Amino acid sequence: MDVSITDVEAIGVSATPSEPFGYAQAWVTDRTATLVRIEASDGTVGWGECWGPIAGTRETVDEFLAPKLVGRDPLAVERLHDELVDASRAAYMSTIPLPAISGVDIALWDLRGKLLDRSIGDLRGGRRREAVRAYATGHYFKHEADLETQFERIADEAVANAEALGAVKAKIGLRLLGYDHEADVGLVERIREAVGPETPLMVDANYAYDTATAREVGRSLETLDVRWFEEPVRPENVDGYAHLREALDVPIAGGECHDLYGFDRLFEVGGLDVAQPDLCDVGGITAGRRVVERARIADVQVVPHVWGTPVALAASLQLIATLPGDPWLEFDTSSNPLREELGSTSIDASEDGTVPIPPGPGLGIELDRSAIERFRVDR
């Protein structure tokens, strides 16, 4: 196939959620992403997505990565990935701009799939399933009159999500609103009571605690049949992860803030039961598959972290298509106009709560160009 890359463009998009919502570390007042569009000489286009703030990432894609890609073979994705990482390491003094490289990598895989008329799952290990069970992420904090109102609204939301998807993940870390970890345990008790004993319930602390407090909270979560305790401590606290996994029976999850080397360290010390790479941050499909291979050796389950536009969701589904075992999809139910409006077709749960994995070439989705223009942030 005689094609080359002719154009690479980063597009910042931003939208306002219906109302601000919070988790242990911050209030979310806007939803942003940097999309990457890569075009080949035959006119085929691939799309990718970069995690995080637009500023910096957009410029890195347009001014640093794009010139290294134009004229190159779009099918040689892993070679290009490694070249970009190595060139960035030298240029950025070891601080590799992984969100930018992630968006480029996903766009290259989408492009490669479209050129070869195969889905990324087909190209990258083989599709093992056509649909995946999902759990609902949501249940965030909002500005409420008191804790009782807060608990009641979150419990109602969890019941609705449990009915639609069959499994839910609670957010804890009410310190954002000035409460301590006992309030967090109270919230999980309330949700468990509301959704009943059969609903799989996960808990995410977004590193709200020090190790000792996390241990205390973890012991309470064990009595509530919690499926996993996510990001109990700061991502840099690798020893804390190892300690908690040793001390607690509740499985330990994490990794959305880690790169490949961070995962390696966590696997080495036995700090994880569930690894959660974010494809828009860890280094795209290429790095995501490398985490999967390492996790397989370490005997750790992989459940990708998903938080973004339909591109992030579709990329995660393509990785999930290739996973061994019985994986989960993290299904974000929080307010995000980008997720709701950027795709030409939406990715939704079926009646049975599973989410179909798009079978089409590349990511298996198309984007709505007029919606992209509507949310586009100009420089």
Which residues belong to the active site? 305
Tokens of 189: 């008790």
Nearer to Ca ion, 49 or 204 (CB): 204
Q: How far apart are CA 52 and CA 355, in angstroms?
A: 25
Stretch 37-76 residues interacting with Ca ion (CB under 5 A)? none
Q: Binding segment for Ca ion among 91-99, 197-205, 336-344, 356-364 (CB under 5 A)?
A: 197-205
Is residue 194 within 8 A of residue 155, CB to CB? The reply is yes
Stretch 198-217 residues interacting with Ca ion (CB under 5 A)? 204
CB of 261 to Ca ion, least distance (A): 20
Q: How far apart are CA 248 and CA 259, in angstroms?
A: 25
CB of 9 to Ca ion, least distance (A): 30
Terminal C-alpha separation, the chain: 36
Nearer to Ca ion, 88 or 334 (CB): 334
Is residue 74 within 8 A of residue 38, CB to CB? The reply is yes
CB of 236 to Ca ion, least distance (A): 16
Kindly tell me the sign of the dihedral angle through the C-alpha atoms of 235, 237, 238, 243: negative
CB of 206 to Ca ion, least distance (A): 6
Q: With CB under 5 A, what is the number of residues at the site for Ca ion?
A: 1
Residue number of the CB closest to Ca ion reads 204
Task: State whether residue 109 is helix, strand or coil.
Answer: helix
CB of 51 to Ca ion, least distance (A): 13
Q: How far apart are CA 132 and CA 118, in angstroms?
A: 19
Tokens of 34: 């940097």
x/- contact string, 153-172, with Ca ion (CB under 5 A)?
A: --------------------
Task: State whether residue 314 is helix, strand or coil.
Answer: helix
CA angle 333, 338, 343 (to 5 degrees): 95
Stretch 214-273 residues interacting with Ca ion (CB under 5 A)? none
Nearer to Ca ion, 157 or 204 (CB): 204
CB of 330 to Ca ion, least distance (A): 8
Tokens of 177: 């609103």
Nearer to Ca ion, 169 or 245 (CB): 169
Nearer to Ca ion, 105 or 230 (CB): 230
CB of 234 to Ca ion, least distance (A): 13
Is residue 302 within 8 A of residue 273, CB to CB? The reply is no
CA angle 172, 244, 265 (to 5 degrees): 105
Q: How many other C-beta atoms are found inside a 10 Å radius of the C-beta of residue 119?
A: 25
Please state at what angle helix 310-321 crosses helix 284-298, rounded to 10 degrees.
40
Nearer to Ca ion, 24 or 342 (CB): 24
Q: Find residue 32's DSSP bridge partners.
A: 14
Tokens 């808990």 sit on residue: 203
Bridge pairing between strands 31-40 and 45-50: antiparallel
Nearer to Ca ion, 10 or 315 (CB): 315
Task: State whether residue 204 is helix, strand or coil.
Answer: strand
330 interacts with Ca ion by CB under 5 A: no
Interface contacts to Ca ion, rule CB under 5 A? 204
